[in-house]
Amino acid sequence: MNDAIITSNIRKRFISNERTGFLRRRKIVVEALRGVSFRVRWGEVYGLLGPNGAGKTTTVKILSTLLIPDGGYALINGHDVVKEASIVRSIIGLVLYPDKGFYSRLSGYENLVYFGRLYGLSKSVAEARARELMRLVGLENAMNRSYEEYSLGMRARLAIARALIHDPSVLFLDEPTIGLDPISAREVRELVRRLKREGKAILFTSHNLWEVEEVCDRVGIISNGRMIIEGSPRDIKDMLGLKYVVEVEVQLNGRVETIRVETTNPADSLRRVINDAEARGLNIIRVRINEPSLEEAFVKVVKNEGE
Ligand SMILES: Nc1ncnc2c1ncn2[C@@H]1O[C@H](COP(=O)(O)OP(=O)(O)OP(=O)(O)O)[C@@H](O)[C@H]1O
Ligand SMILES: [Mg+2]
């Protein structure tokens, strides 16, 4: 079977007009993507990470046919995003931040029906699908309120519902949880996991690395338009040699002390500390292993890149 997403050496350059003074401008070239490659499998959530301006949204826009790359190619279920753009559009769902294109005077429900019709659904199918999706994203109580009255979080949920209207098998979610309260963000993550279980492929971007770690099977960190490192969050931490911290609390003559060891092999270290403590007749009270965070990995990778 094809991979869901294949991105091969894509490049994108923007020419922009920079203001250099009153009425004075000069052209500057922005190398947004300098050859980015990665693959996403079916049933996989892939996190695209990187600092502001790294090229994440540009990548998402190219994969979703909104921008044409200057070099390289990308395939969605084997279909070229440039040469077979309309097939690709029928396979993918897209959430971009900030979301655009909703009609503020229409209700959330009416907006969904409208987009369903654009995708060629019949009126009755579009209506049924819109109702189902409003329920899925937790907007059933706001079905008939107009979009302009929706809060930021409600708008984010509606954007996800719209992305799902034609039951796409590949989803692009560019910062889908930005501005959401913790409960809503958790619901979005649960939804992502449910879609993953259905076998969909999901490309996810977020600056909340804790969230990325929870929801993504693999991540790629890009910086300055280049892929710097790729793998499961755990693999990446191992590749970077990040340290775990093993802490064992022991009782010593009635006093509590903490033995603290930094290590890349927490299982071995824990065994050693416990054996030592027991050999010395110490009473072990509590054991804790702190895993390095994806955030530490991110900081290390991106800082090295900048030097
Ligand atoms: N239409 C455009 N014209 C000129 N430059 C652009 C355009 N779109 C993006 N860029 C530039 O391309 C680079 C990559 O931008 P992009 O939006 O892909 O970053 P990002 O990784 O999504 O960042 P963020 O985390 O802030 O969303 C930036 O330098 C940006 O200024
Ligand atoms: Mg972006």
Which of 239, 273, 300 represents a domain boundary (last residue)?
Answer: 239
pLDDT of residue 150: 93
Task: Give yes or no: residues 235 and 254 share one domain.
Answer: no
Please give the residue range of the domain that contains residue 131.
5-239
Q: Give the chain's count of helices (H) and strands (E).
A: 10, 13
pLDDT tens-digit map of 165-182: 999 999 999 999 988 889
Phi, psi of 15 (to 5 degrees): -100, 120
CA of residue 157 to ligand 2 center, whole Å: 18
Task: Give yes or no: residues 43 and 184 share one domain.
Answer: yes
List 39's β-bridge partners, or say none. Answer: 6
Does residue 231 contact residue 304 with C-beta atoms inside 8 Å? no
pLDDT band for 62, please (50, 70, 90 cuts): very high
Residue 42 has pLDDT above 80, yes or no: yes
Task: Give yes or no: residues 163 and 285 share one domain.
Answer: no
Task: Give yes or no: residues 267 and 222 share one domain.
Answer: no
CATH code of 115's domain? 3.40.50.300
What 8-state DSSP symbol labels residue 242? P
Question: Which tokens in the block code for residue 232?
Answer: 């499961």
pLDDT of residue 203: 98
Phi, psi of 54 (to 5 degrees): -70, -30
Cα separation of 197 and 220, whole Å?
Answer: 21
Cα separation of 40 and 19, whole Å?
Answer: 39
Closest ligand 1 atom to the C-alpha of 12?
12
pLDDT of residue 101: 86
Strands in 50-180 per DSSP E: 71-76, 79-80, 92-95, 170-174
Task: Give yes or no: residues 259 and 231 share one domain.
Answer: no
Dihedral angle sign, alpha carbons of residues 4, 183, 299, 288: negative
- The number of beta carbons lying within 10 Å of the beta carbon of residue 21 is 7
Residue 99 has pLDDT above 80, yes or no: no
Phi, psi of 180 (to 5 degrees): -90, 145
Task: Give yes or no: residues 215 and 277 share one domain.
Answer: no
Residue 307 has pLDDT above 80, yes or no: no
Which of 198, 213, 239 represents a domain boundary (last residue)?
Answer: 239
Residue 274, domain member (yes or no): yes
pLDDT of residue 178: 86
CA of residue 225 to ligand 2 center, whole Å: 12
Strands in 82-169 per DSSP E: 92-95
Cα separation of 245 and 259, whole Å?
Answer: 10
Our answer on whether the CB atom of 16 is closer than 6 Å to any ligand 1 atom is: yes
pLDDT of residue 100: 79
Q: In the predicted model, what is the mean pLDDT of residues 208-219?
A: 94
pLDDT of residue 253: 82
Grouping H, G, I as helix, E, B as strand and the rest as coil, residue 72 is strand
Residue 1 has pLDDT above 80, yes or no: no
Task: Give yes or no: residues 158 and 284 share one domain.
Answer: no
Task: Give yes or no: residues 110 and 146 share one domain.
Answer: yes
Strands in 22-150 per DSSP E: 24-40, 45-49, 71-76, 79-80, 92-95
Task: Give yes or no: residues 219 and 251 share one domain.
Answer: no
Residue 98 has pLDDT above 80, yes or no: no
pLDDT of residue 129: 96
Sequence-distant (≥ 6) Cβ neighbours of residue 170 within 8 angstroms: 4, 5, 40, 76, 77, 91, 92, 93, 200, 201, 202, 203
pLDDT of residue 55: 96
Residue 49, domain member (yes or no): yes
Which of 239, 263, 283 represents a domain boundary (last residue)?
Answer: 239
* Nearest CA-CA partner of 114 in 104, 100, 102, 105: 102
Residue 306, domain member (yes or no): no
Residue 204 has pLDDT above 90, yes or no: yes
Our answer on whether the CB atom of 223 is closer than 6 Å to any ligand 1 atom is: no
Task: Give yes or no: residues 224 and 115 share one domain.
Answer: yes
pLDDT of residue 298: 93
Amino acid symbol at 220:
G
Our answer on whether the CB atom of 220 is closer than 6 Å to any ligand 1 atom is: no
Residue 100, domain member (yes or no): yes
Residue 221 has pLDDT above 80, yes or no: yes
Task: Give yes or no: residues 231 and 265 share one domain.
Answer: no
Q: In the predicted model, what is the mean pLDDT of residues 123-140?
A: 95
Residue 87, domain member (yes or no): yes
pLDDT of residue 304: 84
Residue 126, domain member (yes or no): yes
pLDDT tens-digit map of 243-294: 999 999 999 888 899 999 999 899 999 999 999 989 988 899 999 999 999 9
List 219's β-bridge partners, or say none. Answer: 47, 231
Residue 241 has pLDDT above 80, yes or no: yes
Domain count, the chain: 2
Residue 302, domain member (yes or no): no
Task: Give yes or no: residues 234 and 283 share one domain.
Answer: no
Across 10-14, 93-97, 182-186, 292-296, which has the greatest mean pLDDT?
Answer: 10-14
pLDDT of residue 18: 84
Residue 267, domain member (yes or no): yes
Cα separation of 165 and 158, whole Å?
Answer: 11
pLDDT of residue 211: 93
Does residue 247 contact residue 290 with C-beta atoms inside 8 Å? yes
CA of residue 97 to ligand 1 center, whole Å: 12
Mean pLDDT of the residues in the chain: 93
Residue with tokens 């994969």: 63
Q: In the predicted model, what is the mean pLDDT of residues 107-132?
A: 96
Which residue's alpha carbon is at the smallest distance from atom 27 of ligand 1?
52
Which residue's alpha carbon is at the smallest distance from atom 28 of ligand 1?
53
pLDDT tens-digit map of 139-167: 999 999 999 999 988 898 999 999 999 99
* Residues surrounding ion ligand 2 at CB below 5 Å: 56-57
pLDDT of residue 180: 86
pTM of the model: 0.89
Cα separation of 137 and 283, whole Å?
Answer: 51
